[in-house]
Structure 1
Amino acid sequence: MASLTERPTRTKPRYHRNAYHFVFTALQHAQEKLQRTAAHVVEEEEAHISGPELCLGLRELSHDKFGLLAKTVLEQWGIRSTDDVGRIVFELIERGEMRKTDRDRLSDFADVFDFEHALVDDYRIDTSHAFRGSA
Structure 2
Amino acid sequence: MQPTQFMDAVKSVISNGSKFDIGAYYFLKDALDFTVKRAMENNDGEHRHVTASELLYGFRDLALQEFGPMASTMMSEWGLETCSDIGNMVFQLIEEGAFGKQDSDTPEDFIDIFPLHETLAAPYRPSQPNTTLKASA
Match in the other structure for 2:70:
69
Match in the other structure for 1:33:
38
How far did 1:117 drift?
2.5
* Secondary structure in 2 matching 1:118: helix
Q: 1:47-80 CA deviation, whole Å, 9 max, x = no partner?
A: 2111111000000000000001000001100111
* Secondary structure in 1 matching 2:25: helix
Answer 1 or 2: which has greater helix percent: 2
Are 1:23 and 2:28 counterparts? yes
- Give distance in 1, aligned partners of 2:2 and 2:48: 12
Is the contact made by 2:81 and 2:117 (CA closer than 8 Å) also made in structure 1?
no
How far did 1:3 drift?
6.6
* Secondary structure in 2 matching 1:107: helix
**What letter is aligned with 1:74?**
M
**What letter is aligned with 1:49?**
V
**What letter is aligned with 2:57?**
L
**What letter is aligned with 2:117?**
E
RMSD: 2.4
Match in the other structure for 1:11:
16
Report which of the two structures shows the higher radius of gyration computed on alpha carbons. 2
Aligned length: 119
Match in the other structure for 1:108:
109
- Give distance in 2, aligned partners of 1:97 and 1:117: 29
Is the contact made by 2:94 and 2:100 (CA closer than 8 Å) also made in structure 1?
yes
- Give distance in 2, aligned partners of 1:22 and 1:52: 17
Structure 1 runs, 4 residues or longer, greater than 4 Å off: none
- Give distance in 2, aligned partners of 1:111 and 1:122: 19
Instruction: Name structure 1 gaps, 5 residues minimum.
Output: 125-135
Instruction: Name structure 2 gaps, 5 residues minimum.
Output: 126-137
User: What are the residue-to-residue correspondences of 1:88-103 with 2, within 5 Å?
Assistant: 88-103=89-104
Is the contact made by 1:3 and 1:97 (CA closer than 8 Å) also made in structure 2?
no
Bigger drift between 27-36 and 88-97 goes to 27-36
